[in-house]
Structure 1
Amino acid sequence: MDSETDGLPPMQSEINSHVIDLKPRRKILKTQQSTVATRRQQAVCVRRAHKIYGTKKNPNVILDGLNMTVPKGTIYGLLGASGCGKTTLLSCIVGRRRLNSGEIWVLGGRPGSRGSGVPGPRIGYMPQEIALYGEFTIRETLIYFGWINGLNKDDVDEKTDFLLKMLQLPNASRFIKNLSGGQQRRMSLAAALIHEPELLILDEPTVGVDPVLRQAIWDYLVEITKFGRTTVIITTHYIDETRQAHKIGLMRGGKFLAEESPDDLLQKYHCESLEEVFLKLSVIQNRGKRRRSSIAKEVIDSIQLPGMANPALDLSHDEDHGEISGEFGDNISMSSRGPDMVTAPPHAPPLPPEEEPEATCMDHMKIFKLHHMKALVWKNFLWMWRNFGVMAFIIGLPVAQTILFCLAVGHDPEGLKLAVVNNELSDKQFNQQECPIYEGCNYTMLSCRYLDFLKNRSIDVKFYGNEEEAIEVVRHGNAWGTILFAHNYTDSLVERQDFGHNVESYVIDNADLSVHLDMSNQQIGTLLYRDIQYAYFDFIESMLKDCQINPLVGKIPIFFDSPIYGDRIPNFTDFAAPGVQLTIIFFLSVALTSGAMLIERNEGMLERCLVSGVTGIEILFSHVITQFCVMAFQTALVLTFSFSVFDLTNRGELFWVIMLVLETGFCGMCFGFVISCAVDNERSATYMALGSFLPCVLLCGMIWPIEGMHPLLRVPALFLPLTKSTESLRAIMQRGWSIDNPDVYIGYVSTGVWILIFLTISILLLKFKKG
């Protein structure tokens, strides 16, 4: 006993002796050889860990100077109140988060280093959340995690039968979503045990489990650690159940209060329960501060603490905010706290670096592991099959949208109303809404003959008494325009034709049609403008033919020959179809892939798979494989309905059309991966997808040509994912160009560049984004 402990009460002397006795342990780490030997005997070794990691519940979780040692073949109980940093520490141990400073060794190597197996099959990890697919059965879930960790089907079946009995789970054909809360937690534990890992990390595994089964679980943990093959780190709300652990670490506020065996702690602090030990150490940590409430004073006064003669435990000069809360006591707040009381050396020298095996060229070439891809692809297809209704809707949605587009867009409107004032009609004819038509070379009531050609263009004509009345009808929205015929329209038209430039001006005016249109709707106004003129051309041509006059005399002196590309009368459906097809496939692929990835993340499956050694690239490309199959089927249905059912124009090679649509759909999938990796919930993903939808549709040239946009928008519009591909597909379908044309292959190149950009961003987000 050192002199500085003389005169202290027995318990305080023991505490000081315990702290001082740590000094000789540092001598063990003096040489690299002895340190390596020590490390080989340890499953987990954490030295001077420091990390600041925020959560929604506790935005300032700090691991500060934390030291932790877990010998191989032991059960280590990690205990502490909610928010003290237990889960954060476990995430660092399994390699999912990195320390700002400090060192961690797990199973003899640094987490994440080559050949360490961490993250990987050497670890079994059970997170706090269930992290299982509710649509899978018990057997399917264990098959998936077994395949992920390299087991074959026979091994999985054997382990499944054992775990069902040991954990008292129901029939293996039961779906996870139909299990009770306690059964789901036991199922989560079974998924961590399926491959018999060297290091088993359990984050509160016995929550919601009855006492009998809890004891059975602990008996099993004791059994698997008996021969040193397995090491267990467990956190729990039930502090006294860790009496069966070989060693426990009491953690509070990101620091360790103590790290000893349960019996040593009970003996050292003269307590009857571990909860009392934790409470006593927490009070010592806050000793010497002004209490904020009478409750805190009563609790502290009720605990017989050793004297504070040792300056190392005199915390009156330190300031911090601590709290005894959560599972191990009442909510007792202290105004401040001082240095932690830890049994691990506060300044232990660092361990030597682990020597990683040299990477060969084949190591860099191995991007995927076959058993990982097998399990991931199987899981994705099984999820689709179990959600058949959702998948049927997703596959049928682009077909429905294509049908709606072909039926609703591009067709000439019918039944457009025109208010006609025909002063050639008699009162009787006007009242009966009759307009007599005289066939042959007959110059009688030519206004009625012209109106007959106008009706053939599906225009509804109604007669009104005067021009003011007709215009008022248009102003009330009951007609789209007015046409006025003079009372001597037929005579003036014949005189204008017979005498040409010798007629008077009033004759020319009376031979004209006076038209007023409602141009508030540009499409309808333009169509009426076209049909009124085309009907007049047909009327003149018919009259000249009946009178045995060359009909070319009545045509305007401009001859439009056959168009080089396209039809003489353009079809807006054919113009918009390429952009619509690409937009449908692109954004439905965005919705499908972003939703699938977010489901995995929010249910905890993504984190669990990453801890099992699955890489982000493997997860990404497993979704690429499965979603591409769905997207290919969607593409086949869309093109079949477009060309076979609705007979959309396609003058090019169908192969290049299919290739471009598939490439654009794949680009949409990659954009969906970016969204799912960048955001944390479905609502944000929906906002991001919708926010990108409208600019792409407006600027890709589908609705309006890029040449008609504002100059400031033309340049960014050219670099959007759908712009060049839309122009390329339109060139194939409307012009019949092949892949060797620059305007065609630039669409493939542009889409390929966007695919690389989106995939790169997705991989970087998966690699560096926390959580």
Structure 2
Amino acid sequence: MDAELEGIPPVQPAVPQTDLSARRRFLLSRPSTLATRKQQAICVRRAHKMYGTTKSPNIILDGLNMTVPKGTIYGLLGASGCGKTTLLSCIVGRRRLNSGEIWVLGGRPGSRGSGVPGPRIGYMPQEVALYGEFTMRETLLYFGWVAGMKTQDIEDRTEFLLKLLNLPNGSKFVKNLSGGQQRRMSLAAALVHEPELLILDEPTVGVDPVLRQTIWDHLVDITKNGHTTVIITTHYIDETRQAHMIGLLRGGKMLAEESPDFLLNQYQCDSLESVFLKLSVLQNMGKRRRSSIAQEIVEQVTIPAISNPALDLSEEGTNAEISGEFGDNISMTSRGRDPLATELAPPLPPEEEVPTNWWYNLHVMNSNHLHALIWKNFLWMMRNVGVMLFIVGLPVVQIILFCFAIGHDPKGLQIAVSNHELTADMAENQYCPIEFGCNQTYLSCRYLNMLKNNKSIVIKYLKTDDEAYDEVKRGKAWGALVFSRNYTDALVDRVENTRFAEDGSIESSEINIRLDMSNQQISSLLYRDIQFTFFDFVRVMLSECDVNPKIGEVPVQYQPPIYGTNNPNFTDFAAPGVILTIIFFLSVAITSGAMLIDRNEGMLERCLVSGITGIEILFSQVTTQFSVMFCQTIFVLIFSFYIFNITIIGDIWLVLGLCIINGLCGMSFGFVIACAVDTERTATYVAMGSFLPIVMLCGIIWPIEGMYPLLQIFAYFLPLTKPTESLRSILQRGWGINNPVIYEGFISISVWVLVFLILTILLIKFKKG
């Protein structure tokens, strides 16, 4: 390091800031330092980064310039919130600047000439960003495969790194390591493939001082040959004395960018913390010229010629005073900037030329990446057996609950009966005499007996009409039936005399019915059973008296239906939509959960920095999650059609194919949710918010033809509308793929799969800070 600093002259005398010509001569006469003599690895020019609105911006980087020579250790120092992590994220291409330029290893991040993202870079983020369910060896094996290393080489590097970083046996799970050990394990993951550029965000936090020195010795050692460049951020300022260059960052501005010894000599300090303090005071004077807090310190500082805009104390810079306390970000206006420093900032190097060919243009997925990703996903599933069993078993539980709970006729529906043909004792004892054959006595009892044999209805006899009605009003019964005193005689007279029957006989032969219509399903069932039972009662009576039973039937003859049965089962109607909904939304849950785990633990960003593309991540997730979804689908279909005997007339393979594509659509929708939101809670809200509209509008519980006309148009474009109609037609009509209703369902759900996958790729690629 001392050799690198050879030739640096003693501290130059201070130059008045108002003398721009003198400043120009001073800057141009300075010997080239390490940053200008060596080939560059990273260049940042005029970097601006802000969050929030234009009216109330939160400025993170404010016109920052930075140059990192190849083969050096560059210490990036600054307090929490000064912009270190944001700057590193921009360098590795995971965040975009609002303005400014970045050049890394041959080009702008993401360009073909740049080494970012890719295996040329090793990135250790601020969080641990590792899977707790993996062992240390498995973790390093994964990152080694991603970088294209051979397994034996990874094993050798693993042994070396475990020993170097004083880590326990490699078979220990990451989640069982202490906090400091996890940080060192994260560092090992960045070092495993010996990258050309190593970016470490606070790697020594919580590390033993002796081990911290060992890490620094290793970093110094790997940079000696000039092939490895290291950028390291740390809270321990004085440990960067071993760095070749340091950058002091405060308030989004670079206060200084020199070698540690040069800064110590320049500012006549014994420690880098003292240098940082003086530079911070100088920067603060640019905001508050007469700071009483810092005045005593400032008076003891010999102010050197300042070439950094963050330290501009000229009259122009003083006019850039901004309200706020010590350490606030500085405004991004042109005031307070040094035009001379901007003028003399060297331009970005040209982008490296990369040979192109047709194979490069077609190559969108790397086999090493896919192998590592698919292995990682399946290993995570194996380490979470309980979770996976729950995920696979949950749709089975749901379809069992549906088949047991939905579509069956209600039982034990109580009907209050006031039968005036009975005596008070008969009503009290719940006794109604029944005579069989062509017998014309107590016909009301014979009808009620047939009604009771329906098994859905329970008859309760009451003495008066008011008691029967009151039973309904109190919720004790679902309806009240009232028979007149001469019901039997009146009914016989009505049948035998027909048009000549007296009006009194016609009125007395009627059964007066009052139902509780508050529950549509139950009231419709009672309405149907009461009528159909009466038709059967008349048919039986006429047959037993040797009269053609058709005389008592309604002159409308229902032939066997073309599709379905005369008594449709609601289970058969709802089953297609329920099956598709279960598969769709459980696929949403498992894929969004898997992606969010990767994102929130930092693994997704770490993988993207290592060169894995959004398409590769998506393909690997589809591959692994498809196996789970396929098992769910098979179990759901087995329980639906072979255990609970839901009607199926069409081809079971068409059913299976439609359900699988529907599951893929749900997986794709889950990817979109995971990429669009930031937390599991928000993802849950989005999934729940989309569930109810899809269930209500896709014809699952109510026909689309019964909806408001404008709503019908919207409903037809939802993901499950056409597939539900197709599956219902396959199951109950037996239609094949050549029918428009069927293939339109396949086409609709396939288009949605493509739309969701494209959205996912775009969100992975472009959703950055």
TM-score normalised by length of structure 1: 0.92
Q: Matched residue of 1:625: which SS? A: helix
1:520 to 498, 518, 521: 518
Change (3 A) 1:263 1:349: closer
* Residue in structure 1 matched with residue 313 of structure 2 by the alignment: 313
1:512 Cα shift?
Answer: 0.9
Question: C-alpha distance in 2, partners of 1:284/1:661?
Answer: 68
Shift of 1:157: 1.0
**1:495 pairs with 2:496:** no
- CA deviation after TM superposition for structure 1 residue 268, in Å: 1.0
Aligned counterpart for 1:427 among listed residues 421, 424, 429:
424
1:397 to 394, 397, 405: 394
Matched residue, 1:194: 192
Q: Tell me the equivalent position of 1:153.
A: 151
Deviation per CA, 1:224-272, whole angstroms, max 9, x where unpaired?
A: 1111121101011000000000111111222211111111110111000
Using the alignment, how far apart are the partners of 1:675 and 1:305 within structure 2? 57
Give the whole-Å Cα distance in 2 for the aligned partners of 1:151 and 1:332: 44
Aligned twin of 1:351:
348
Contact 1:259 1:344 in 2 (8 A): no
1:675 and 1:288 map into 2 onto residues whose CA distance is 46
> What SS class does the counterpart of residue 458 from structure 2 fall into?
strand
Query: Is residue 88 of structure 2 the alignment partner of residue 83 of structure 1?
Result: no
Change beyond 3 A, Cα 1:148–1:456: same
In the other structure, the counterpart of 1:64 is 62
Which amino acid is the alignment partner of residue 655 of structure 1? Answer: W
Distance 2:680 2:289 in 1: 45
- Name the CA distance, whole Å, in 1 between partners of 2:29 and 2:470: 105
Cα offsets for 1:353-400 (capped at 9, x unmatched): 415435433223212111101111111111122122112111111111
1:165 is paired with a residue whose SS is: helix
The offset of 1:11, in angstroms, is 5.4
Indicate how the Cα distance of structure 1 residues 430 and 354 shifts in structure 2: closer, same or farther if over 3 A, else same.
same
Give, in angstroms, the shift of residue 467 of structure 1. 1.0
Equivalent position SS for 1:286: helix
Q: 1:528 to 1:239 in 2, by over 3 A?
A: same
What residue identity is the alignment partner of 1:537?
A: F
Offset of 1:175 from its aligned partner?
Answer: 1.3
Do structure 1's residue 116 and structure 2's residue 114 form an aligned pair?
yes
Q: Spell out, residue by residue over 1:523-549, the C-alpha distance to the aligned partner (whole angstroms, 9 max, x if none).
A: 000000000011111211221222222
CA contact 2:267–2:301 (8 Å) conserved in 1: no
Q: After alignment, is 649-658 or 16-25 more displaced?
A: 16-25
Moved more, 116-125 or 645-654: 116-125
Q: Aligned equivalents of 2:330 and 2:718: distance in 1?
A: 56
Deviations 1:605-655 (A, max 9, x none): 111111000111111121111111111110000000000000000110000
What is the letter of the counterpart of residue 192 of structure 1? A
Greater shift in the superposed pair: 547-556 or 443-452: 547-556
- Counterpart AA for 2:233: T
Distance 1:550 1:153 in 2: 89
Inter-partner Cα distance in structure 2 for 1:26 and 1:756: 59
- Preserved CA contact (<8 Å) 1:399 1:637: yes
Q: CA deviation at 1:507?
A: 0.2
Deviations 1:185-223 (A, max 9, x none): 001100100100011000111111111111111011011
Which residue type is aligned with residue 392 of structure 2?
Answer: I
> Residue type matched to 2:123 in 1?
Y
In the alignment, does 2:415 pair up with 1:418? Answer: yes
- Aligned: 1:616 with 2:621: no
Equivalent residues of 1:727, 1:743 under 8 A apart: yes
Question: How many equivalent pairs are there?
Answer: 746
Contact kept in structure 1, 2:289 and 2:318, CA below 8 Å: no
What is residue 3 of structure 1 aligned with on the other side? none
Indicate the percent of aligned positions where both proteins have the same amino acid: 64
1:478 equivalent in structure 2: 476
Pair 1:559–1:489, CA change in 2 (3 A):
same
In 2: Cα distance, 1:340 partner to 1:114 partner: 34
- Equivalent-residue separation in structure 1 for 2:31 and 2:724 (angstroms): 70
| Deviation of the 1:51 alpha carbon | 3.3
Deviations 1:422-454 (A, max 9, x none): 111122212211111111111111111101110
SS at match of 1:598: helix
Shift of 1:293: 8.0
8 Å Cα contact 2:286-2:336 kept in structure 1: no
Range moving further from structure 2, 95-104 or 656-665: 95-104
Distance across 2 between alignment mates of 1:47 and 1:540 = 96
Comparing 291-300 and 82-91, the one that deviates more: 291-300
Residue 170 and residue 386 in structure 1: after superposition, are their counterparts in 2 closer, same or farther (change >3 A)? Answer: same
C-alpha distance in 2 between matches for 1:343 and 1:601: 43
Match of residue 740 from structure 2:
742
**Equivalences for 1:155-304 in 2 at 5 Å?**
155-287=153-285, 290=288, 295-297=293-295, 300=298, 303-304=300-301
User: How far, CA to CA, are the matches of 1:382 and 1:500 in structure 2?
Assistant: 82
Amino acid at match of 1:319: E
Residue of structure 1 equivalent to 2:5: none
- The question of 1:371 aligning with 2:368 is answered yes
Residue in 2 that maps onto 1:6 = none
Residue 316 of structure 1, CA deviation: 3.0
Give the alignment of 1:92-111 within 5 angstroms: 92-111=90-109
Change (3 A) 1:267 1:341: farther
The match for 1:446 is: 443
* Structure 1 residue 100, shift from structure 2 partner: 3.7
Q: In 1, Cα distance between the equivalents of 2:353 and 2:286? A: 48
* CA drift at 1:47: 2.8
Which residue matches 1:715? 713
The 1:312–1:114 alpha-carbon spacing in structure 2 relative to 1, beyond 3 Å, is closer
TM-score, structure 2 as length reference: 0.92
Equivalent position SS for 2:45: strand
SS in 1 for 2:108: coil
- Cα distance in 2 between the residues matched to 1:359 and 1:694: 50
SS of equivalent to 2:207: coil
The AA in structure 2 aligned to 1:759 is: L
Q: Is the 8 A contact 1:322 1:333 kept in 2?
A: no
SS in 1 for 2:285: coil
2:14 is paired with a residue of what secondary structure? Answer: helix
Q: Distance in 1 between matches of 2:361 and 2:679?
A: 34
Note the C-alpha offset of 1:96: 2.0
Distance 1:604 1:361 in 2: 34
Q: CA RMSD in A?
A: 2.9
SS in structure 2 of the partner of residue 651 of structure 1 = coil
Task: Write the letter of the residue equivalent to 1:569.
Answer: N
Which amino acid is the alignment partner of residue 704 of structure 1? Answer: W
Question: Partner of 2:669: helix, strand, or coil?
Answer: helix
Structure 1 counterpart of 2:662, from 650, 664, 667: 664
Residue in 1 that maps onto 2:28: 23
Deviations 1:677-706 (A, max 9, x none): 111111111111111111110011111111
**2:649 & 2:31 partners in 1: Cα distance?**
82
| Alignment partners' CA distance in 1, 2:422 and 2:312 | 115
Amino acid at match of 2:313: L
For residues 699 and 618 of structure 1, the distance between their equivalents in structure 2, rounded to whole angstroms, comes to 35
Spell out, residue by residue over 1:454-481, the C-alpha distance to the aligned partner (whole angstroms, 9 max, x if none): 0111110001111111111101111000
Secondary structure of the residue aligned to 1:45 is strand
Question: How has the CA–CA distance of structure 1 residues 152 and 703 changed in structure 2, closer, same or farther, with 3 Å as cutoff?
Answer: same
Task: Find the aligned partners of 2:188 and 2:286 in 1 and give their Cα distance.
Answer: 47
Against the structure 1 CA distance between its residues 181 and 140, is the aligned structure 2 distance closer, same or farther, given a 3 Å change threshold?
A: same
Higher mean C-alpha displacement, 586-595 vs 90-99: 90-99
Q: State how far apart, in whole Å, the 1-side matches of 2:478 and 2:184 are.
A: 72
State yes or no: 1:387 paired with 2:384: yes
Structure-2 residue corresponding to 1:135: 133
Q: Distance in 2 between matches of 1:508 and 1:83?
A: 92
Residue equivalent to 2:576: 578
